[in-house]
């Protein structure tokens, strides 16, 4: 019988799956009734509920994103609550199509129960990601803009 992953192990495995581009496998880290909040998401939904909805979201990314992501400066912090970890990292991100590179700051608060994520609050630098994808507003890309 396999041992249940700790919150720290789940956090690291999720990040490894993302940076490895294994989007078709990511939903397996989440409970059936998981809730993911993307606090600073400027365009899409800021809350996704359920593994099935997360699976759809991840499948939409599979093979379609031109970004290469390399997680650096990864720090996973335990909290007083044994189910909760806070993970901080920077993506060294590169757009394969344009060659443009950017550092993208991230912070994620995970609640993991029985080896599965039941709740996640994600804080990503969506503006940096938008710049990489050529989707940022002009004021975010023009150094002369104020």
Q: Is the separation of the CB atoms in 35 and 121 below 8 Å?
A: no
143 lies in some domain: no
Distance between CA atoms of 47 and 76, rounded to whole angstroms?
23
Domain CATH for 19: 3.10.450.50
Number of domains in the chain: 1
2 lies in some domain: no
79 lies in some domain: yes
Low-confidence residues in the chain, pLDDT < 50:
1, 146
Question: Of how many residues is the chain composed?
Answer: 146
Residue 78: which domain range? 7-136
Closest CA to 109 of 76, 87, 89, 77: 87
Distance between CA atoms of 86 and 109, rounded to whole angstroms?
5
1 lies in some domain: no
Query: What's the pLDDT at 42?
Result: 83
Kindly report the pTM of this predicted structure: 0.88
Q: Is the separation of the CB atoms in 71 and 11 below 8 Å?
A: no
Query: What's the pLDDT at 133?
Result: 86
Closest CA to 91 of 9, 10, 23, 18: 18
59 lies in some domain: yes
62 lies in some domain: yes
Query: What's the pLDDT at 1?
Result: 40
142 lies in some domain: no
Contacts of 20 (CB under 8 A, 6+ apart): none
Query: What's the pLDDT at 139?
Result: 63
104 lies in some domain: yes
């Amino acid at each position: 019988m396999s041992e249940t992953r700790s919150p720290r192990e789940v956090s690291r495995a999720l990040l490894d799956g993302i940076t490895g581009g294994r989007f078709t496998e990511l939903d397996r880290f989440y409970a059936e009734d998981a809730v993911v909040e993307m606090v600073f998401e400027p365009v899409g939904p800021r809350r996704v509920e359920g593994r099935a909805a997360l699976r759809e979201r991840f499948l939409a990314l599979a093979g379609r994103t031109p970004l290469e992501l390399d997680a650096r400066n990864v720090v996973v912090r335990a909290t007083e609550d044994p189910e909760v970890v806070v993970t901080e990292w920077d993506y060294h991100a590169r757009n394969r199509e344009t060659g443009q590179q950017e550092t993208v700051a991230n912070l994620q608060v995970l609640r993991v129960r029985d080896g599965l994520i039941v709740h996640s609050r994600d804080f990503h630098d969506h503006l940096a990601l938008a710049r990489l994808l050529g989707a940022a507003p002009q004021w975010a890309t023009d150094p002369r803009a104020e």
